[in-house]
Amino acid sequence: MRPLAGQVVLITGASRGIGAAVARKLAEDGAQLALVGLEPDELKKVAEDCGPDAGWWEADVTDTDSLRTAVEGIAERYGRIDVVMANAGIAAPGFTRSMDPQVWERVLDVDLLGVWRTVHLTLPYLLESKGYLLLVSSLAAIVHIPGLASYNVSKAGVEAMGDTLRPELKHLGVRVGVAHMTFVDTDMVRGVDTHPVFGKVRTGIPMVSKTYPLDFAVGKFVDGIKKRSRTVHVPGWIGALKVFRWVIPHVIEAGSRFSVPKADAAALADVRARGAAESSRPTGAGGLADAEKAARR
């Protein structure tokens, strides 16, 4: 376990949720936080909570130039980057056949390609510091919930990216971890749960119906960063669940055979009532900020 004091930790998606909470906890342990996100006012608040050594940079992980400017600014200010937590992500509920295609693709652009861009731009600094790269995947990489196809695809890709980078970078001194987190009490999850159709879908499916406290997840993340762990599981049973991947789709199909047809009809009605873009808009305040950013581009 490495002491965090003095280490420079870059976190994307740091405006709120797990990114902001982990940043605050790492700052308590003496780390210097470099916060990256879309919401300047929220980033400023988090940075203030993290102390005078913390800094924040507004950047969009779907915009390479914007992200490059932030990463270069961080390196210039601190002289190094020791840890990167590629955390920026959105979730947009919707069945694939009725979901707004632009929103479906936006989720991949943020959650998967945004992680790739973060890796690409920060890796030279991690090679110098022999640092640690933590890619935030999800239980969704393992348990593919109906109504979250774009999110499931993205998070499965993030897991594969991390598992590929780990052996590629080990001999160069960079350690790579992948975090799998179930539903945790964040703005994004609360947004999913308030959706008129898909909140009911999640809470009716085994293994994913429980929401865990944010502090519980933060403790797991911080411990993983300190240990430079290859995996971070929130909760721990996700690690054991990976052994049974082959059977999980069958469990999901059996558990949703009655709920999904009803939800599918309800989703179509919701699309007719509110429009596909609004019905499948990314959830929570962070999702709204991303949607507004995408609309301006």
Residues designated catalytic: 151
Place of tokens 């947009």: 92
Q: Which long-range contacts (CB under 8 A, 24 or more apart) does 156-165 make?
A: 157/108, 157/112, 158/86, 158/111, 158/112, 158/115, 159/135, 161/112, 161/115, 161/116, 161/119, 161/135, 162/133, 162/135, 162/137, 165/119, 165/133, 165/135
CA separation for the pair 233, 242 (Å, rounded): 11
Ramachandran quadrant class, 95 (left: phi over 0; alpha: psi -120 to 50; beta: rest): beta
- At 94, list the tokens: 């919707």
Q: In terms of Cα–Cα distance, which of 91, 69, 65 is closest to 291?
A: 91
User: Residue 262 in 3-state DSSP?
Assistant: helix
CA angle (85 as vertex; 8, 111 as ends), nearest 5 = 150
